[in-house]
Structure 1
Amino acid sequence: MQTRSGAEIVIDGDVVHKLHRPGINPRDLTVRLGVAARSDCLLSPLQPAPVRIGERWRTLWPLVEVVEPQPDSLPWAEAGRLLARLHREPRPSRMGVHGGPQRLRRAVRTTGDPVVRRAAAGLPDAVWRAGSPGRPATLVHGDFHLGQLGRADGRWLLIDVDDLGVGDPAWDLGRPAGFWAAGLIPDDDWHRFLDAYRGADGPAVGDGDPWPVLEPFARAAVVQAAAHHPDDELLLAACARMV
């Protein structure tokens, strides 16, 4: 199975073989694997370093249960608490910046939709860099959504370390915030997620109105998603409102 990022996934029994996107830096990937192996929030790899397969790099992971697309059972509160824990973990000394801005750039380059391109052109400077002065700098997943949760030994963990790095933790809240603003996530689910994140002392937002902090990253997440899903009318309408 090939993902939108260019990675390829093969499941062999209870082992997941992941062939990472072309061009990924193996040294950075090795650091991320080490962080995942030590983290209480991330799924641990089965090997400490990637293996070269032709021009690509492969990692091995345990097969885990992923989130089912059942609106009545989506683990929004668990996701909020899990992200808060990740954002409070110590920052590894050798860890580089997270890959959120690069993911956004790759998505924008692939779209031919003029509405999405105009919305991307109007995005603020903060979304084109991993962190900003005056903002917290924490460990960041870099590509968070509910599809990045896996259940192992009865508890939810974050999977996919390809964009793991240091930066503004508001990046990880951008997609839920943007999808809520676009009408794709119900109010109750959004508030359940945000309240759980705040209740677990997540550093991305304080006690006041979160929107001034989250709005740039919410817009960026909608633009990126619209670039990947050009037939989604709600995403395109949200991009049109930005313009």
Structure 2
Amino acid sequence: MQTRSGAEIVVDNDVVHKLHRPGINPHDLTVRLGIAARSDCLLSPLSAPERVGDRWRTRWPLVKVVAQQPESLPWAQAGQLLARLHREPRPPRAPAHGWPQRMRRAVDALRGGHPDVRRAAATLPDPVWRPGSPDRPMTLVHGDWHLGQLGRRDDGPWLLIDVDDLGVGDPAWDLARPAGFWAAGLIPDGDWHRFLDAYRGADGPALPDGDPWPVLEPFARAAVVQAAAHHPDDELLLAACVRMG
């Protein structure tokens, strides 16, 4: 199975073999695997990277991912888990998280794409093109978080999976996609507030007291633009891009 990022996944019994996207930095990947192996929040790898031609492959335990059942999505558990990740000690020599690079790849792919998405991309503010800002917290960041990045063995605790964009930066980036999808009408109010309240209740450092939207708004906009670039037929995402543009 090939993912949107260009990685290839092969499942062999209870082991997942992941061939990482072309061009991934093997040193950064090794650092990220080490962070995952030491973290209580991340799924631990089964191997160091091994070279396969001009690409790199790793092995992982097979886990159950979130079933897409709207009445039982683990939004509260996800908020608590992200808060825990953001409170972990910042690893030395960790790379920057990968959200801005993914944004650039998405915008590059928009040439010739939907004009409303291109206009929305042109309005994005400076913070969305860098992993962090001097006036903001700098923590460990998953870098590509959505509910599909949760996995667990049997009935064990939820863990974060996929470390390809793991790194250091502004933790608000990990809240970008749910914030943007809620603003676009894709996530119900109750789910969004369960997620947000759980994150704050677990002392997540991304948000100040009071209204979270001034912090989240630029990152939420970026997440909607990126999603619209990948799903140009989604009417709610396009409508959100029209409002931005």
TM range (shorter): over 0.9
Amino acid corresponding to residue 236 of structure 2 in structure 1: L
Q: Which runs of 5+ in 2 are unaligned?
A: none
Q: After superposing the two structures, state which structure 1 stretch, 127-136 or 104-113, moved more.
A: 104-113
Contact 1:46–1:62 (Cα < 8 Å) also in 2 = yes
Letter in 2 for 1:144: W
Instruction: Write the letter of the residue equivalent to 1:213.
Output: V
Amino acid across the alignment from 2:233: D
Cα offsets for 1:128-176 (capped at 9, x unmatched): 0000111000000000000000012511000000000000000000100
SS of the residue corresponding to residue 199 of structure 2 reads helix
Structure-2 separation of matches of 1:14 and 1:152: 10
Task: Note if 1:86 corresponds to 2:111.
Answer: no
**Matches of 1:206 and 1:152, distance apart in 2:** 34
Q: How many matched pairs?
A: 242
1:196 matched residue in structure 2: 198
For 1:7 and 1:115, the matched residues in 2 are separated by 29
Counterpart amino acid of 1:137? M
Instruction: Describe how 1:98-109 pairs up with structure 2 within 5 A.
Output: 98-109=97-108
Q: Secondary structure at the match of 1:219?
A: helix
User: Structure 2 CA distance, aligned partners of 1:59 and 1:94?
Assistant: 21
Q: C-alpha deviations, 1:61-111, integer Å up to 9, x for none?
A: 000000011000100000000000000001110101100000111111112
Contact residue 151 and residue 157 of structure 1 kept, 8 A: yes
What is aligned with 1:24?
Answer: 24
SS at match of 2:59: strand
**Distance apart, 1:207 and its partner CA:** 2.1
- Secondary structure at the residue paired with 1:34? helix
Code of the aligned partner of 2:53: G
Q: Which amino acid in structure 2 is aligned with residue 68 of structure 1?
A: A
Determine whether 1:128 maps to 2:129.
yes
Q: CA RMSD in A?
A: 0.7
SS in 1 for 2:158: strand
Q: Deviations over 1:114-136 (max 9, x none)?
A: 11111011000000000011100
157-166 vs 111-120, which moves further: 111-120
**Residues 33-48 of structure 1: matches in 2 within 5 Å?**
33-47=33-47
The aligned runs of 1:212-231 (5 Å cut-off) are: 212-231=214-233
Q: Which SS does the other structure have where 1:130 is aligned?
A: coil
Gaps of 5+ in 1: none
2: CA distance between counterparts of 1:22 and 1:131?
25
Asked if the contact 1:182–1:238 (Cα under 8 Å) also holds between the matched residues in 2, the reply is yes
Structure 2 residue matching 1:155: 3-state secondary structure: coil
Q: Percent identity?
A: 83
Q: Distance in 2 between matches of 1:173 and 1:128?
A: 16
Which TM-score applies when normalising by structure 1?
0.98
Match of 2:94 in 1: 95
Question: Is the deviation greater in 114-123 or in 25-34?
Answer: 114-123
User: 2: distance between equivalents of 1:226 and 1:130?
Assistant: 21
Measure the CA separation in 2 of the matches of 1:142 and 1:160.
9
CA contact (8 A) 1:198 1:206 kept: no
1:235 aligns with 2:237: yes
What SS class does the counterpart of residue 21 from structure 1 fall into? coil
Counterpart amino acid of residue 37 in structure 2: A
Matching of residues 35-184 of structure 1 within 5 Å: 35-47=35-47, 49-111=48-110, 112-152=113-153, 154-184=156-186
